[in-house]
Amino acid sequence: MSSQYPALLVATPLLAALFISIAGWVYKKLCFPIAVVALSVATYASIGLLLRVLNEGVVHYRLGGWEPPWGIAYYVDHLNGLVLVVVCVVALLNLIGAKKSIDQDFPDKIGPFYTLYILMVTGLLGIVITGDAFNLYVLLEIAALTGYGLLAMGDKRAALSTLNYLYMGTIGACFYLLGVGYLYIVTGSLNMADIARILPPLYESKAVLAAFIICMVGVWLKMAFFPLHAWLPNAYTHAPSASSGLIAPLVTKVMIYVMIRLIFTVFTPEYAFNTLALSNAFVWLAAIAIVMGALFALAERNLKKMFSYIIISEVGYMVGGIWLGNRAGMTGAVLHILNDALMTLCLFLVASNIVYKIQGHSFDDLKGIFRKMPVTMGALVVGALSIIGVPPTCGFFSKWYLISGAVQAGQYGFVAALLFSSLVNVVLFFRVLEIAFFEPFGDHDGHGHTESIDEAPLSMLVPLLIVALGLVIVGVYTGDIVNLVIQFAIPREIL
Amino acid sequence: MRYAPCVLILPMSDLITHIVANYNYWIYITLMMIGLYAIIAKNNLVKKIVGMNIFQTAIILFYISIGAKKGATIPIIEHAHGDHGAGSSAVHAIEYINPLPHVLMLTAIVVAVATLGVALALALKVYQQYNSLEEDEILDQIREK
C-alpha cells in the first residue's frame, strides 16, 4: 500500500471530484463528506510519503510501470515531500473552515464548487509531485482553469478580475510551454532528470538560455512576481472567501516550488548560479517586489486587498531567497513556503470569518469588531505577529534565515527591503487592530445589541485556531524542520 | 572583438537566407506577437480572448513544426506486420517525422479549448453585469459607484 502513495495522492482527489459532481446532482449533502474524506486520504498519503522520504531517501514512482524517459515518472524528495504535506493540510483545513461560508454564499452551487475545489487540489498536488516537464504544464492548466472557476464565483466584480487573471495566467502557462519546447529541441527529452543529465555540454547554447528565461518569466507571471503582479489583488479580493482561502495560500507557493524545481533539477544550480550571471539582478528585482508590495498594501483600505498585496511582498522574499544562491538564503526560502502558506491561510480564514459575520471586508466594516469576534481577532493578532516576524512565531525564523543569507551574499539592498517590509507590516496590522479595537462599532446591521459577542460558528473557528497554533508550533520546531527536511532539500554543492 | 560587427550586421542576403531557412520560427514569433499585442492593447474583452487564442495557437504551431523533417513521411511503419527479417525491421528514424510533439499538442489543444470556453463564459458574465464588453466603459461604470 505505502509503495502506491504517490499515485494515491493524485488519483484519490481526482476520482473524488467525479463522485462529488455526481453527488451534486443526486444528494447534495454527500459532497462535503466525500471532499473531506478525499483530502484526508491525500493528507495521510502525503505524510506517509514524507516519512518514507525521510527514512529511505528519494522515492521514484513510475506511472503504469513505464521506464522514465518514455513514461511519466513521479519523484518525491525532501523538497516536494514537504510541499505536498503543506498543500494537503492547507486545503483540508480551509475546506473544513469554508463549509459554512459555502452554504451561505452559494447554496445552489454546492456540487460544482466542491468538484472544482478538489480538482484544483489535484492539479496542485500533481504539479508538485510530477517529474515530467510537459506533465507539469498540463497540471498547471488544470489548477489554473479550476482556479478561474472558483474565483469567478465571487462578488459583482469577480468575473472581470478573473478574466484579467485568465489572460495573464494563460500567457504565463504558454511561456512555460514554450520554454519546455526549447528544452525539447536541444535535449529531445521531457523528463526533468533526463534533461538535467543531457544539458551540461549545452550550457553555452543560446537555446538553453532562451528556454531558461522564458520558463522563468512564465512562472513569475503565475506567481505574481512584482512587475507581473497586476492580476492578483483584484482576483483574490473579489473571490468568495472559500476560494481565496485555498488559492491565496497555495497557488503562489506552488509556483515558487516550480521555480525552485526548475533551478535545482532541470537546469541545475551550477547553470543557474555560475553559468548565468543574473542572480544579482534577480535579487534586486525581488527587493523591489518586496518594497512595492509593502507600499501598495499601505495604500489599501480594504482587508482582503491588503492581504493580497502582502502576498506579493512575500513572493519577493522567496524569489530573492532562492537567487541569493547560498544555503542560508535557500533554507529561508523553502522554510518560507511552509510558513507563508500557513500565515496566508490564517489571514484569509480570518477574512472569511469576518465576511461571514458582517458581509464586508473594508476597514470601515472592522470598527469595534474586537468585542464582537474576540477569537477571530485573536488569531489575526497571531497571524500579524508572524507576518511581522516576532520571535515565537514561524515568520521570524524564515526571515532570520533570509536576512543571514543576504548578509552572507553581500546583498544589503535585499536586507534593507526585508527590514522595510517588516516595518511596514507593523504599521499595516497595527492600523487594522487599532480600528478593530478602539473605534466604536458601526451599526451596519441596524440592531441595537452590537456590543455583544457574536462569533463565527465553531466549524470556522477550529481550523483558524489550529492554524494560529500551528504558526507558533512550526516556529518552535523550526530547528527540527530545517535539520530533518529542508537541509536535504537543497543540493549538496550549495554552501 | 574583431568579429563582432560581422555578426551583428549581417549582409542583406545572409539575413534573407537566415529568415527563409528558419521560416517556421519567424511565423510562430509573428503570430505570438500579434496575439500578445491584442491581449495588451485591445479594449474589447472578446478581442483580447481572440488574441489569447492566437497566442496559444502560435505555440502549438511551433511544436508541430519542430517535429517535421525534410523528406520524411508520417510515422507509420510500413510492412511492420508479417516481415520479421532482422534487416527489414530496423526503423530509420530519419525517414519519419517525430510524432511526439504532435501528441503533446493534442493535449495543449484540449487545454486551449477549455481555456477559451472558460474565458468566453466569463466574458458573458461580465456582459450580463455591465451590458458592455469594452473595458474602458466597464471601468467607468465601476468608478461611478
CB contact under 8 A, B39 and A141: no
Which residues of chain B does A138 touch, with a Cβ-Cβ cutoff of 8 Å? 107, 111
- pLDDT tens figures, A401-447: 999 999 998 889 899 999 999 999 999 888 888 888 877 765 555 44
**Rounded to the nearest 5 degrees, what angle is found at the Cα of A470, between the Cα atoms of A461 and A481?**
160
Residue of A nearest to B138 (CA): A160
d(C-alpha A121, C-alpha A115), whole Å: 10
Does residue A168 have a pLDDT over 60? Answer: yes
**Predicted local confidence at residue A60, as pLDDT:** 84
* A134 at B interface, C-beta within 8 A: yes
Nearest residue to A371 via CA among A477, A449, A291, A319: A449
Tell me the average pLDDT across B53-69: 89
pTM of the model: 0.90
* A217 at B interface, C-beta within 8 A: no
Question: Are the beta carbons of A6 and A75 closer than 8 angstroms?
Answer: no
Q: Is B134 helix (H, G, I), strand (E, B) or coil?
A: strand
Does residue B1 have a pLDDT over 70? Answer: no
Q: How close is the nearest chain A Cα to the Cα of B79, in Å?
A: 25
Tell me the average pLDDT across A477-495: 84
Percent of chain A with pLDDT over 70: 98
Q: How close is the nearest chain B Cα to the Cα of A289, in Å?
A: 22
Confidence of residue A174 (pLDDT cuts 50, 70, 90): very high
Which residues of chain B does A149 touch, with a Cβ-Cβ cutoff of 8 Å? 118
- pLDDT tens figures, A266-287: 888 888 888 888 888 899 999 9
CB contact under 8 A, A171 and B52: yes
* B45 at A interface, C-beta within 8 A: yes
**Predicted local confidence at residue A451, as pLDDT:** 61
Does residue A62 have a pLDDT over 90? Answer: no
d(C-alpha A382, C-alpha A436), whole Å: 15
Confidence of residue A54 (pLDDT cuts 50, 70, 90): confident
Does residue A146 have a pLDDT over 90? Answer: yes
Please report the domains of chain B, with CATH numbers, ordered by start residue. Answer: 13-72+89-144 (1.10.287.3510)
Q: How close is the nearest chain B Cα to the Cα of A158, in Å?
A: 9
d(C-alpha A366, C-alpha A358), whole Å: 9
Q: How close is the nearest chain B Cα to the Cα of A228, in Å?
A: 13
Tell me the average pLDDT across A442-469: 73
d(C-alpha A218, C-alpha A212), whole Å: 10
**Predicted local confidence at residue A260, as pLDDT:** 92
Average predicted confidence (pLDDT) for chain A: 87
DSSP type of residue B81? S
CB contact under 8 A, A184 and B59: no
Residue of B nearest to A173 (CA): B56
CB contact under 8 A, B55 and A174: yes
CB contact under 8 A, B52 and A141: no
